[in-house]
Amino acid sequence: MRILVIFSLLLALGFSSVSRAAEPSIDSKSTLANADQSDWSSLLQEVIISALSLTGTKYTYGGNSPESGFDCSGFVRYVFNQATNLTLPHGARAISQLGQNIPLDQLQPGDLVFFNTLKSTFSHVGIYLGNNRFIHAATLGGGIQVVNINDDYWTKHFTGGRRIEPQDVAKEEKAK
């Protein structure tokens, strides 16, 4: 059933075919910082596939694995780590400090989207999939799910998009 859901979502998002290309030649955090754009684009496709494969996983406050469930930042951290080997910081606010600001109309698949859901500018995070859709860990309504960013609730609460690139995380790790 989960495979059917993922396939349907990929078709709805405009993927004409789903195939795993040869793994990119990127195999560690140190080489990720030097990744060229085509390698990074391949990894972002892996981010999307990994995220979609978790559709339906339950929501758990503080959760950070498929077994325990996910909260929003735990979900984003897990997916990015699995697909790119990057370790993002804990919490939506901390993640929002990475990368470059991207306006809503310029979002690309793999960008992060942030919302004010708890009276805090960056209290919720999800992964943009394309075609006005993003995937996130919803506190209400079934855990990991794909929603339309143009729905009234999300439009009112949208606080920004960020494009993460390998060097952004490498800078963060060096600063520690």
Fold of 2-14+39-175: endopeptidase fold (from Nostoc punctiforme) (3.90.1720)
Q: Is 72 among the catalytic positions?
A: yes
Q: pLDDT exceeding 90 applies to what percent of the chain?
A: 64
Catalytic residue among 72, 86, 129, 144: 72
Catalytic residue among 77, 124, 133, 163: 124
pTM of the model: 0.80
Higher pLDDT, 35 or 22: 35
Q: How confident is the model at residue 169 (pLDDT cuts 50, 70, 90)?
A: low
Q: Are strands 100-102 and 64-65 parallel, antiparallel or unpaired?
A: unpaired
Q: What is the pLDDT of residue 8?
A: 46
Q: Could you state, in order of their start, the residue ranges of all structural domains in the chain?
A: 2-14+39-175
Does the pLDDT of residue 135 top 60, yes or no?
yes
Judging by beta carbons within 10 Å of its beta carbon (0-12, 13-18, 19+), is residue 111 exposed, middle or buried?
buried
CA-CA distances (angstroms) from residue 174 to 30, 91, 166? Answer: 11, 19, 13
What would the pLDDT profile of 16-31 be if each residue is shown by its tens digit?
333 333 333 334 343 4
Q: Is 157 among the catalytic positions?
A: no
Does the pLDDT of residue 34 top 80, yes or no?
no
Q: Is 75 among the catalytic positions?
A: no
Q: Which of 39-43, 75-79, 155-159, 168-172 is predicted least confidently?
A: 168-172
Average pLDDT, the chain: 82
Catalytic residue among 24, 48, 95, 136: 136
Secondary structure class of 144 (helix, strand, coil): strand
Average pLDDT over residues 130-141: 93
> What is the Cα–Cα distance from 13 to 5, expressed in whole angstroms?
12
Q: Are strands 143-148 and 69-70 parallel, antiparallel or unpaired?
A: unpaired
Identify whether the C-beta of residue 170 lies closer than 8 Å to the C-beta of residue 29.
Answer: yes
